[in-house]
Amino acid sequence: MIFHINATMPEQKSGIEHAEIQRFMLFKKNHIAQKLILRDWDPECHRQTKAAGIDDDDLINMFDYFQKATIVATQQLTIKDLDFGVVDLEFNDEPQNNRYLVVDNSKKLVARVNYNNAETQRVKSVELFDGFGNLYRVDHYDIRGFKSLQQWYTPDNKIESETWLDVHGQPVLESFFKTTKTVNHQSELTRTNWHLTFNEISYDFDTIEDLTIYFLDAINQTFFNTLEPNIFILDRSHLADYGLLHLKNPAYTVLHLHNSHAGDAQEPMQSVLNNNYEFAMNALNQYDAVVSATPQQTRDIKLRFQPSVPLFTIPVGIVKDTLLHAKRVRVGERQFGKVVAFARIAWEKHLDDLVRAVGIVKEEIPEVSLDLYGYADPTDNFRAKRAVEAVIDKYHLGDSVTMKGYTTDIDAVENRAMIYGLTSRMEGFNLAIMEGIAHGLIALSYDVNYGPNEIVQDNINGKIVPYGDYQAMANAMLTVLRDPRLAQRYSDGAYQSAERYSETNVMAAWQKLIEDANQKWQHKIAATNLGR
C-alpha cells in the first residue's frame, strides 16, 4: 500500500497539492493500491477531496480516523435539525451574513447559527451564549452533517479546550490550552497536550507530532503485509519528518522534495538549509529513499550530503495523454502579446519583475498584456501584491496587467495566450510552466533552480535569461514578438518537449522506486525479526 502524506486538500491548492493529485491519479490509472493521508482537521475535507477526484474510500484523515468517521453518509443539516434545549425561540435570518440569530422570549441571544449560503443554509457552526451574553462554546459541523468539534471558551473570550466527537456525539479527542506571556508581554494561548480515547483505551500526547506518530503507527499496523511494503511518501516534511523515522513496524519511507533544499537555491552547496527541510536533510540516511523533481537537484544533494540511501529523480508534474494528443493551437490563432503566469503572488515568485519586463516591452509593443492567476500571499500585509501594484503604477500598466485570482480553467486560458513568463527566486519544479509548454506556450524563464531551467530548453521551447535580469526577460519577449517564425518554432518545441512528462515516462520513474522498495522488503523484515 502506498500512502501520500499531506496536511489538507484546500480549495485553493498550492503546487504540492496539484502534484500529489496528479500522482494519485496516475497510480490509480495503473491500479496501484494507495491512500491519501491528511493530518489536519478540516470540516470541508470530504467535499474538497471529492472535488479533486479522490473518493472517501481512498482517504484517511487523522481526525476522521480517531472519530471513526472515515466513511459517513452525508446528510444536509439545517437549523431545523438543531436542538437548543430552550423553548419559545425566535429565529432571525440574516442572509447578508449567512447566519441566523437565535433569541429567547426575552430577546436574549441564545445562539448564532452560521451556514454556508442563503440557498442551502447548511449548518457550518453554532456559537452558543450564556445568560449574560458571553460566548461559551462553538460547535463546528462536518460537511457530512455531524457535530465534529466543540471549542470551549473562557469568560475573557479565549479558547480553553477543544473536543472532537465521534458521529454519536461522544468525545474521543481533547486538546487543552493555557495562557502564556510572549517576549513582548502579550498574552497568547499555547496548546498544552492532547488526550485521546480510542478503542476504549486512553492516551496522552504532549504535541500533535506525538499524536501523529501514534496515528501513522496505527495505519502502518492496519495495512502491514510481510509480502510487500507499505510505502509512505512524505510531501510536506514538517508533518511527519520525525514520525516516519520512528515507526514501530518497518515500512519504506520516502522524503519527497517539492522545493529547493537550500535556503538560497542559487547557492545550493553553501547556503543555509531551507527551514522546511532542515530536520529531514540532516536525517537523510534514516529514510529509505529521497525523491527530487529534477536531475540537477538530485546531483546537488548527492554532492552536498553524500547520502547512502538511493536518490530518485521523478518529475512532480504529469502531462496527461489527452493533453499530449490534443489539437495544437498555432501562434497565429492566439492573442498576440498575451503573457500569463500561474503562481501565488508571493515574495519567492518575484512577479513584480515579470511586470517590469512587460512594462519595458509595452514601450515598443502596446498590445502586450499580462494576466496573473493565483491568490495573494498575505505575508507582511500582502507585501508581494503591493510590490506588483507599485510596478503597475510606475509603468502605467493598469489596462495591461490584471491580477485574475485563482482559477482552475487552465486549458482555456493557456490555449488563448502566447507566452508563459517566470521570474521566481526559487522553485522545486514548477508545475505551471510544465503545463504551459504542454499547451504550446512559449516559455521564458529566469535561470532559477530548480525546475524552470530544465523544463525550459533554451532556444528550443523558449528562452532562459540570467537570474534576476528583468531587462533580459523583456528583451526575450521582444525578440519573440518581433519574429512570428521564431515564435512558432518555440511553440512547436514546447508541445514536443512536454513528452518528457508523459504518464508513461513518469510512471516508469515511479516504478523504479517501487521495485527498490519491493527488493529491500524481505531484508527489512528479516532484520526486524532478528532485532526482536
Q: What is the DSSP string of 106-135?
A: T--EEEEEEES-TTT--EEEEEEE-TTS-E
d(CA 230, CA 253): 8
Pairing relationship of beta strands 311-313 and 289-292 according to DSSP bridges: parallel
Phi, psi for residue 111 in degrees, rounded to 5: -160, 155
Q: Where are the domains of the chain?
A: 2-69+209-313, 79-207, 321-500
pLDDT for res 189: 79
Q: What is the C-alpha to C-alpha distance for residues 298 and 260, in angstroms, rounded to an integer?
A: 11
Cell 462554546, residue located = 137
Cell representation of residue 485? 517564425
The hierarchical CATH code for the domain 321-500 is 3.40.50.2000
User: Whose CA is closest to 274, among 320, 245, 237, 303?
Assistant: 237
**CB neighbour list of residue 149: distance below 8 Å, 6 or more residues apart:** 41, 43, 139, 140, 162, 163, 164, 165
At a CB cut-off of 8 Å and minimum separation 6, what does 255 contact? 234, 237, 241, 280, 284, 287, 289, 290, 291
Q: Which three cell numbers stand for residue 345?
A: 503572488
pTM: 0.90
34 forms beta bridges with 2
Per-residue three-class SS string for 187-247: EEEEEEEEEEEECCEEEEECCHHHHHHHHHHHHHHHCCCCCCCCEEEECCHHHHCCHHHHC
Residue 182 CA: distances (Å) to CA of 110, 185, 361: 35, 5, 50
Neighbours of 512 (CB within 10 A): 14
CA distance 9 to 472: 38
> Which of 72, 28, 91 minimizes the C-alpha distance to 54?
28
Largest CA distance in the chain: 79
The CA distance from 428 to 291, in Å, is 11
Give the torsion sign (CA, 359, 360, 362, 363): positive
pLDDT at site 531: 52
- Where helices occur in 34-182 by DSSP H, the ranges are 45-51, 62-67
- The pLDDT, as a whole number, for residue 75 is 94
In whole angstroms, what is the distance from residue 82 CA to residue 71 CA?
23
Round to whole Å and give the CA distance between 472 and 463: 10
DSSP string, 495-531: HHHGGGGBHHHHHHHHHHHHHHHHHHHHHHHHHHHHH
Beta-sheet strands, E only, within 356-487: 369-373, 401-403, 419-422, 442-446, 462-465
- Give bridge partners of residue 113 from the DSSP assignment: 100, 126
**Residue written as grid cell 498575451:** 338
Cα separations in angstroms, 276 against 19, 57, 228, 247, 463:
18, 30, 31, 21, 31
Sign of the CA dihedral running 74, 78, 81, 84: positive
451: left (phi over 0), alpha (psi -120 to 50) or beta: left
The rounded average pLDDT for each run of 10 residues, N- to C-terminus, in the chain (532 residues) is: 96 90 97 98 96 96 98 95 93 96 95 95 97 95 97 91 97 91 73 94 95 96 92 95 92 95 93 94 96 96 97 96 95 98 94 98 97 94 96 96 90 96 93 96 96 95 97 98 98 97 97 96 78 51
Q: Which CATH number fits domain 2-69+209-313: 3.40.50.2300, 3.30.460.80, 3.40.50.2000, 1.10.287.130?
A: 3.40.50.2000
Question: Which residues have C-beta within 8 Å of that of residue 2, sequence separation ≥ 6?
Answer: 27, 32, 33, 34, 35, 230, 231, 233, 514
What crossing angle do the helices spanning 470-482 and 351-362 adopt, rounded to 10°?
Answer: 50
- H or E element in which residue 439 lies: none
**Do 2-69+209-313 and 321-500 fold alike per CATH?**
yes
For 134-171, give one letter per residue: b (16+ CB within 10 A) or e.
ebbbbbbbbbbbbbbbbbebeeeeeebbbbbbbbeeee
Grid coordinates given for 188: 497568547
- 100 preceded by a cis bond (ω within 30 of 0): no
Residue pair 398/317 in contact by the 8 Å Cβ criterion:
no
Buried-exposed string 103-122: b where 16+ CB fall within 10 A, e elsewhere: beeeeeebbbbbbeeeeebb
The rounded distance, in Å, linking the Cα atoms of 132 and 290 is 57
* Single-letter residue type at 19: A
Q: How high is the pLDDT of residue 518?
A: 95
Task: Report residue 346 as a C-alpha cell.
Answer: 508571493
